[in-house]
Structure 1
């Protein structure tokens, strides 16, 4: 601990003021004591950790009462090294609690010197003026670290949220580019071909006779193809829009939105059978809107992964209440995978595109403070569980 502007003494200053051979300033997180400052300096000081409530220093941190020891011999080997104690030797010690705000004990001042000069009441009185300012300094540093930790966590979550949003936008852009625009381009080609055929028929000299049946059929076939492509483009546009936002979720709630999601994903005879299991006794009305939206997106991503990649025969999507938590599950009997490898590697496609499936789910869980568990064995399917405390 530094002395700052000269108002807060460090370990070296305290050793001189208390006529001690050495001083250790311990910081407490409520569970363990770690060295915040030490004099004489020792390279292994950062490795020392003493449990609160055990040993002399730990008891002072627990009960807030100072202790004087004429001859002490700590059992912790590293602690003895920091005190400069040789085997079978003892040391005189003075341990005082360092109070922070609201009388919370945030650390311990521990001074030591030769047993030939034990500490007494005069030493306690000399050290007392420094304990309050040292405690406030330690508490302020702890609060500052907590603020920085929360700020870092907030920044991380914001970054993850932006990444998830960008991944969603990229997915929709790919869907529109590969589906809708391709269908519209093909439709334009067929309409142009039909227009050319009709124009040729209209420009023909009437003396050449009426158009043949084959010529009419050619024009009609081009128009039929264009109409089919228009329907395809319409369906793909609706799918892209529903992927961007669920009106069912807004109007009818999470269960209805998941039912719609299952119906949409189950289209086609080649895909797996998909079941939705919702606990009929579960009360789901108290799920906040933002959490319901996140759970819907997680279910959407998990179901898409199962349908597209698992090669499963059956997928079960579930929603139930367990105590004060909502549990969303997605289980399939497909190929399975190694979760550790999948979490640590985001495989890139040949064109540089990224797969954001599991990472997107993990980021959404972090945003709503839900826990994520993925159980999978190659060849034996995958189970994904998301637990949201309410």
Structure 2
């Protein structure tokens, strides 16, 4: 309230007034944003656009000079320093914003023995343009902060909902598909054993029967291998869909688990470097989830496309930011050429991976830098500002 836009005291002195009040239009209300002399009850004053002298100026956009006025609002009278029968000379000037609309009202007052004149009005209007712009700028800033807060809330909800859906699908796959595949593999193994025993008991002289059983056994072995492969791939998909480690132990532990899983597969050697000062606990849960997905996508890009022998995944503190890095010694690419021509399927797949990373960065307002050159590897850097320690 009072003091958010300074200048009431200076305005009163410049206009030779006993006091001044500065109002901002808020919908159909007029909020008092600055007053001089200061008054402990100022925060309680609420006027309506269109009602009273000040409200009329806000509605019509026309200034008003009153030689003698006696406001009916008791709080307003106290702010003007008026006793029960006293009157006051007033001057109310509209304040306009960038679009020309009235965004506030400047009201000054003094003794009715010295009423305001046109010269006073011209002096007040010389301040009005600047005051209007300042009020409009504050209004826009408040709107930006409101929209930013709403955007942050929606992003958090979207990422949380996405992770919840991933978790649900992962649990459904675990409890349904993987259980069925494991059972299938068990029954196929039992069937293979039974067929093997039957083939062993057959009279070798009856060659056609033995050959049929052997062929059946070979088909069962192939089916069991396919079931085992489907089970392994489903388990891998479950791990990719959702990280229980991220939920339970946080970002660093989740990335460590991601690296261990990648190391078990045939691919480049992966080194994880974590700066003790990184302080990933200072980022919100939805941002941690996004960074985990970015690390996951970056590693997948390297394994699938980079033909690298070594990868360094890092999490470090740089100034007031947390930086996630992924550097490989693979074949690299020409970023400019990649932007202009994405003809091959491999290029399209890798570009899709980088686009996914870029979209996640945009969601959490992190900056993304990709550095690469042919035969010189690729570096992906994601920089996320850390929350202040007192708001973490």
- TM-score using structure 1 length: 0.52
How has the CA–CA distance of structure 1 residues 321 and 276 changed in structure 2, closer, same or farther, with 3 Å as cutoff?
A: same
Matches within 5 A, 1:46-85: none
Q: Matches of 2:278 and 2:125 in 1, distance apart?
A: 58
How has the CA–CA distance of structure 1 residues 289 and 155 changed in structure 2, closer, same or farther, with 3 Å as cutoff?
A: closer
How has the CA–CA distance of structure 1 residues 153 and 337 changed in structure 2, closer, same or farther, with 3 Å as cutoff?
A: farther
Q: Which residue of 1 aligns with 2:320?
A: 324
How has the CA–CA distance of structure 1 residues 222 and 285 changed in structure 2, closer, same or farther, with 3 Å as cutoff?
A: same
Q: Matches of 2:232 and 2:300 in 1, distance apart?
A: 18
Contact 2:306 2:377 in 1 (8 A): yes
Q: Which residue of 2 aligns with 1:262?
A: 259
2:212 is the counterpart of 1:224: no
Q: Matches of 2:303 and 2:153 in 1, distance apart?
A: 28
Q: Which residue of 2 aligns with 1:48?
A: none
How has the CA–CA distance of structure 1 residues 36 and 210 changed in structure 2, closer, same or farther, with 3 Å as cutoff?
A: closer
How has the CA–CA distance of structure 1 residues 360 and 143 changed in structure 2, closer, same or farther, with 3 Å as cutoff?
A: farther
Matches within 5 A, 1:273-352: 273-280=269-276, 282-340=278-336, 342=338
2:211 is the counterpart of 1:214: yes
Q: Matches of 2:294 and 2:105 in 1, distance apart?
A: 43
RMSD: 5.2
Contact 1:101 1:136 in 2 (8 A): no
Q: Matches of 1:345 and 1:144 in 2, distance apart?
A: 45
CA drift at 1:379: 2.4
CA drift at 1:373: 1.9
Q: Which residue of 2 aligns with 1:387?
A: 383
2:358 is the counterpart of 1:358: no
How has the CA–CA distance of structure 1 residues 149 and 222 changed in structure 2, closer, same or farther, with 3 Å as cutoff?
A: same
How has the CA–CA distance of structure 1 residues 315 and 238 changed in structure 2, closer, same or farther, with 3 Å as cutoff?
A: same
Q: Which residue of 2 aligns with 1:7?
A: 61
CA drift at 1:343: 6.1
- TM-score using structure 2 length: 0.51
**What does the per-residue CA deviation read over 1:156-203, in whole Å, with 9 as the maximum and x for residues that have no partner?**
99699979969x98xx99xx9xxx99xx8xx99xx7xx89x97xx99x
Q: Residue 332 of structure 2 aligns to a residue in which SS?
A: coil
Contact 1:160 1:363 in 2 (8 A): no
Q: Residue 282 of structure 2 aligns to a residue in which SS?
A: coil
CA drift at 1:313: 1.9
Q: Matches of 1:336 and 1:242 in 2, distance apart?
A: 28
Q: Which residue of 1 aligns with 2:246?
A: 249
Contact 1:100 1:135 in 2 (8 A): no
Q: Matches of 1:327 and 1:101 in 2, distance apart?
A: 48
- Structure 2 regions of 5+ residues with no counterpart? 1-56, 64-94, 107-116, 387-392
Q: Matches of 2:283 and 2:304 in 1, distance apart?
A: 29
- Structure 1 regions of 5+ residues with no counterpart? 10-24, 28-34, 38-98, 103-121
CA drift at 1:297: 0.8
CA drift at 1:360: 2.0
How has the CA–CA distance of structure 1 residues 323 and 289 changed in structure 2, closer, same or farther, with 3 Å as cutoff?
A: same
Q: Matches of 1:125 and 1:253 in 2, distance apart?
A: 65
Q: Matches of 2:284 and 2:151 in 1, distance apart?
A: 23
CA drift at 1:318: 0.9
Q: Residue 142 of structure 1 aligns to a residue in which SS?
A: helix
2:121 is the counterpart of 1:126: yes
**What does the per-residue CA deviation read over 1:119-143, in whole Å, with 9 as the maximum and x for residues that have no partner?**
xxx9862323435654564345435
